């Protein structure tokens, strides 16, 4: 019985292969005679059913008939295929052709970075704030503890619209505006365009995006500041990115700090991006200077806080390895399209 079934199976396989291989009607007819004809092997096998023991005959017969039917069906199908012209065959869709598309848009790389930064700070309870781009010198300098006759004011070369009206040199004036309007707790991030009198070159533009942050409440300390900034660095640049804080000077923070991260390109080995130091400067920050609180009418004994600011273009350039800041402002569609999937 086993022998019978295995011969049947072998015959089904070889028969199917022979039918599929036939490439012309007369060739197919030869195959038919060999397999299904009067003297063919299948016919002989079917006759052999009778010689099996009585008990095995129904199963063997059924299996043999199934093979016969399937071979006949295959034969008919192949016969139809071989007699039809190519144009009559079932239409074949070539799915390697492209689909019908729509244009894809893209956010500007600075927006991508801004949104991501704001989202991370949102996890820490910060909401977005905004303010005017043309500012009084009071908001841009005085409120932020930067007297105009102090050399610190030279650090930012300023565009003037009138004697006491400037294009804001940083987003920090929004700090003062928000604090004048709201009482603590304050937790804000401020993305926006800022202006400095720097001519265009590979790393400078006279108008560029900045993002600023401010947290004010009772009991906020340098420890909270370090924790929040480190949280951001890890979320934005990756868990294995190292952060270092080093002294700096900004008139509106004290203690002031410059925040460096381990170089994203060389991971601290030293390369041209980090000028061989292994570190990249990413933000200026610090504890809010009490003079700023005094200027906006907050009790500087009761409230403390921290603030930070960074150049969005610079961060975008680091993240996407853009070599020249001017690419951000040229609006070349071949550049902007690269961010459609970002």
**Closest CB 235 distance from another protein, rounded Å:** 12
- Options 16-24, 59-67, 161-169, 264-272: segment touching another protein (CB under 8 A): 161-169
241 close to 230: Cβ distance less than 8 angstroms: no
Sort strands 186-195 and 127-128 into parallel, antiparallel or unpaired: parallel
Compute the distance between CA of residue 254 and CA of residue 185 in angstroms, rounded to an integer: 20
What residues between 26 and 65 interact with another protein by CB under 8 A? none
Binding to another protein by residue 235, rule CB under 8 A?
A: no
**Closest CB 234 distance from another protein, rounded Å:** 10
* Residue 68 contact partner, candidates Zn ion, another protein, none, CB within 5 to 8 A by sort of partner: none
**Closest CB 209 distance from another protein, rounded Å:** 8
**Closest CB 314 distance from another protein, rounded Å:** 15
Instruction: Residue 213: count other Cβ atoms within 10 Å of its Cβ.
Output: 27
- Options 9-17, 30-38, 177-185, 317-325: segment touching another protein (CB under 8 A): 177-185
Binding to another protein by residue 246, rule CB under 8 A?
A: yes
Of 90 and 97, nearer to another protein (C-beta) is: 97
- Options 26-34, 49-57, 66-74, 254-262: segment touching another protein (CB under 8 A): 254-262
Compute the distance between CA of residue 187 and CA of residue 16 in angstroms, rounded to an integer: 75
- Cα radius of gyration rounded to whole Å, the chain: 39
* Nearest in space to 7 (alpha carbons), one of 52, 37, 38: 52
List, in order, residues 6 or more apart from 145 with CB less than 8 Å away.
251, 252, 289, 291, 292, 295
- Options 18-26, 43-51, 83-91, 245-253: segment touching another protein (CB under 8 A): 245-253
* Residue 274 contact partner, candidates another protein, Zn ion, none, CB within 5 to 8 A by sort of partner: Zn ion
**Closest CB 309 distance from another protein, rounded Å:** 16
232 close to 117: Cβ distance less than 8 angstroms: yes
What residues between 102 and 141 interact with another protein by CB under 8 A? 102-108, 110-111, 124-130, 132-134, 136
Binding to another protein by residue 302, rule CB under 8 A?
A: no
72 close to 283: Cβ distance less than 8 angstroms: no
**Closest CB 167 distance from Zn ion, rounded Å:** 33
**Closest CB 25 distance from another protein, rounded Å:** 36
* Residue 283 contact partner, candidates another protein, Zn ion, none, CB within 5 to 8 A by sort of partner: none
For 191-207, b/e burial (b = at least 16 CB within 10 A) is bbebbbeeeeeeeebee
* Residue 312 contact partner, candidates Zn ion, another protein, none, CB within 5 to 8 A by sort of partner: none
Binding to another protein by residue 290, rule CB under 8 A?
A: yes
Binding to another protein by residue 165, rule CB under 8 A?
A: yes
Of 222 and 267, nearer to another protein (C-beta) is: 222
List, in order, residues 6 or more apart from 326 with CB less than 8 Å away.
200, 202, 205
* 189 prior amide bond cis, ω within 30: no
* Nearest in space to 18 (alpha carbons), one of 9, 7, 29: 29
62, 80, 227, 265: which one binds another protein (CB under 8 A):
227
* Nearest in space to 144 (alpha carbons), one of 105, 99, 175, 103: 175
262 close to 242: Cβ distance less than 8 angstroms: yes
Binding to another protein by residue 229, rule CB under 8 A?
A: yes
Binding to another protein by residue 202, rule CB under 8 A?
A: no
């Amino acid at each position: 019985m086993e022998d019978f079934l295995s011969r049947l199976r072998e015959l089904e396989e070889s028969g199917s292969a022979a039918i599929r291989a036939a490439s012309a009607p007369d060739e197919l007819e030869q195959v038919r005679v060999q397999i299904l004809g009067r003297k063919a092997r299948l016919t002989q096998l079917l006759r052999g059913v009778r010689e099996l023991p009585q008990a095995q005959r129904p199963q063997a017969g059924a299996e043999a008939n199934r093979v016969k039917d399937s071979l006949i069906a295959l034969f008919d199908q192949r016969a139809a295929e071989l007699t039809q012209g190519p144009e009559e065959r079932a239409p074949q869709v070539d799915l390697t052709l492209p689909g019908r598309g729509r244009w894809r848009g893209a956010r500007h790389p600075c927006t991508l970075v801004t949104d991501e930064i704001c989202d991370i700070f949102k996890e820490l309870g910060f909401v977005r704030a905004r303010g005017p781009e043309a500012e009084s010198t009071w908001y841009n300098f005085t409120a932020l503890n930067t007297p105009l006759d102090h050399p610190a004011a030279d650090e930012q070369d300023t565009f003037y619209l009138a004697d006491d009206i400037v294009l804001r040199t940083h987003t920090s004036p929004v700090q003062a505006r928000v604090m004048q309007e709201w009482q603590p707790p304050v937790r804000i991030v401020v993305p926006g365009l800022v202006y400095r009198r720097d001519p265009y070159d590979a790393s400078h533009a006279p108008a560029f995006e900045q993002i600023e942050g401010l947290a004010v409440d009772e009991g906020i300390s340098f420890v909270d500041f370090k924790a929040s900034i480190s949280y951001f660095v890890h979320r934005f640049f990756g868990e294995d990115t190292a952060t270092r804080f080093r002294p700096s000077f900004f008139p509106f923070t004290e203690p002031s700090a410059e925040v460096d991260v381990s170089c994203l390109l060389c991971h601290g080995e030293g390369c041209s991006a980090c000028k061989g130091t292994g570190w990249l400067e990413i933000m200026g920050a610090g504890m809010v200077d009490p003079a700023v609180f005094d200027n906006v009418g907050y009790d500087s004994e009761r409230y403390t806080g921290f603030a930070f600011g960074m150049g969005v273009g610079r961060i975008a350039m680091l993240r996407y390895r853009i070599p020249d800041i001017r690419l951000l402002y040229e609006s070349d569609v071949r550049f902007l399209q690269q961010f459609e999937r970002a």
